Amino acid sequence: MKTFKLTYSSFKKWAYQNDAQIIETVEGCLLDNYLLSCKNGMAIAYETYKNCWNSVYTIKFERFNPNIQIFMEWYNFMDEEKGE
């Protein structure tokens, strides 16, 4: 699994280049997080507050394979957000 950080404009460009489609989202009052299906794999985009004008996205990307772990990480994140 690759992890990298992108600004909002870089995230939009990366999502377009990788034909990313939103599968699921967690919407916050200021921050949104996404589970994405891309042309070569799956990704999670965690939005992190930087300042009142900007945020940074931490992207975790994994290529398609039979033992893909990204779903477990997403569902663990969802459980944490719900407080379970």
Q: How many CA atoms lie within 13 A of 69 on its CB side?
A: 4
State residue 30's pLDDT score. Answer: 62
- The string of pLDDT tens digits covering residues 9-62 is 999 999 999 999 999 888 776 678 899 999 989 999 998 888 888 889 999 999
| Calpha distance 15→78 (Å, rounded) | 22
State residue 29's pLDDT score. Answer: 63
> H helices within 1-84, ranges in order?
8-17, 70-82
What are the phi and psi torsion angles at 14 (to 5°)? -60, -45
Q: What is the pTM of this model?
A: 0.79
